[in-house]
Structure 1
Amino acid sequence: MTQTHTQDYERADGRRLRLTYAEPDGAVRGGLVVLHEVGGVTDGTRLLVASLAAEGWLAAAPHIVDVDTDEGQGTGPSLLAATDTTLAWLVDHGVRGDQVGVVGFDLGGTAALVVAANRELGAAVSVGGRGISEPATGGLPALMDIAGGLVSPWLGLYGDNGDEVGQAEIDKLKEEAGKSKVATNVVCYAGASHRFDTDPEAAAEAWQRTLSWFDAHLR
């Protein structure tokens, strides 16, 4: 398995951020910002970072907040600032601006859509995530309110077997995202949990869709 590393990165303007990252063994296809779930950069986040690097992507997860609360992705402004700093780190490591994207899992999936509505990147993927009709945290908007203004191509992958997200909400989000001026797609895995943990087949299919989305848009 590709190894992950952690670095305290400081920009020339003095902004600092801790990053956990992994580098491909061979040629770098592009760079991905990985937005973590509640609880900070967990073993699951490190596995995702390493797995993306194994597919050829320079992947970096900013440590936005290292606490096990629903504020784990911070406020909208702090989320975007952390994303911007991580993007600068990727560019410093030779990734072109048109070859960067963002991916998030669970609450990080919510955050990825927020980024995709505020930053013009090559592609974005949300794997699960709450806060569609009502804000997931006090610092983030309801996704329904911003999906129509997406400025980065966005893929949303959801399961409908849970209390947080249902089929009706997912359908509304897909409709709103379709009003934007960029490519979007929303896929719902019937009967799967929002994390797909209990459905290996859905998890494997979602992983392939994620890789295909980045392959299609980061060239």
Structure 2
Amino acid sequence: MSGTYDDVAPLRATEPTADSAAGTALAATRTSVPITVVEPERVARGGIVLLHESREFSPQLLDLMRSLAFEGWIVVAPHLFDRIADDQVHEVFGDELFDDFDAGFDWLTRRGVFADTIGVLGFDSAGTAAFLVATNRPIGAAVSVAAPGITEPLPDQEVALVDIAPSLQAPWLGLFGADDPATPPEAVDRLRDATARANVASLTITYPGLSHRADRPDPDDDADNAIRIDSQTRIYDWFDSNLR
């Protein structure tokens, strides 16, 4: 099926724990995650699980998903906030985020997509999750945009990215803005050095300002727009080069 549509992806069955028993009724009964899917018109080359900290999919985010589908990928975006009733919560992390990734990954493999042709693309703390996915999941490539938690772990994150970077198992691309207080340049430099010690390809790019975000409205300034185009092109090229 080509085009854009909504579906649900079953969660992997897990054994109940004491912590989960003490959780909310929603967590206890949650067996699937809603997903938005964009499929290419032609036979798919592989798939991309997109993780994004947004309660609603903006036109810019949907445009990015369509652009990736135009390149030949099935794009699956789990609705990460489906499990969170509090509208004031704007960040996601923890084990349930990885459960949502696994559900999207399994949805793709059930449709015949091979694991090594599946990539993950994450923004903000979901970009941090994409990095960690690349250290412990059998995927083909990962891209993180504006991922925090570089030198100090995020809440619910056991380790900082610089500490686990040598364990990367999938080629990883990181895109950062030099003026982002969540990812200061000195921390990004440390991450660049740490990922260079991994046994897979890595590339860490820092752009001036914050115009590298493909999920944000098009900037009015020509220089900022050139940065945006360059960052999008790098995402496309990274998946094109590594998902084979």
Answer whether contact 1:161 1:194 (CA < 8 A) is retained.
no
Q: Deviations over 1:13-66 (max 9, x none)?
A: 5941211111001120110000112x3352244333222112210000112224
**How many aligned positions are there?**
215
Gaps of 5+ in 1: none
Number of the residue aligned with 2:238: 213
Partner residue of 2:156 out of 114, 135, 139: 139
TM-score normalised by the chain length of structure 1: 0.87
Runs (5+) with no aligned partner, structure 2: 14-29
- 2:229 is matched with which residue? 204
Residue 137 of structure 2 aligns with which residue?
A: 119
Larger Rg: 2
What does residue 83 of structure 1 align with? 101
Helix, strand or coil at the partner of 1:60:
strand
Q: Name the aligned partner's letter for residue 93 of structure 1.
A: R
Which residue of structure 2 aligns with residue 58 of structure 1?
74
Task: Decide whether aligned partners of structure 1 residues 150 and 21 sit closer, same or farther in structure 2, where only a CA change above 3 A counts.
Answer: same
Name which of structure 1's ranges 179-188 and 159-168 shifts more when overlaid on structure 2: 159-168
Contact 1:104 1:125 in 2 (8 A): yes
2:75 maps to a residue whose letter is A
| CA displacement, residues 129-173 of structure 1 (integer Å, 9 cap, x when unaligned) | 22212233x112422222121111101111111322222111101
The TM-score with structure 2 as length reference comes to 0.79
Structure 1: how far apart are the matches of 2:9 and 2:205?
35
Output aligned runs, 1:34-73, within 5 Å. Answer: 34-37=50-53, 39-43=54-58, 44-66=60-82, 67=84, 72-73=91-92
Aligned residue for 1:64, secondary structure, equals coil
- CA–CA distance in structure 2, aligned partners of residues 202 and 177 of structure 1: 23
Q: Is the 8 A contact 1:64 1:74 kept in 2?
A: no
Identity of aligned residues (%): 38
- Mapped partners of 1:120, 1:99: distance in 2: 10
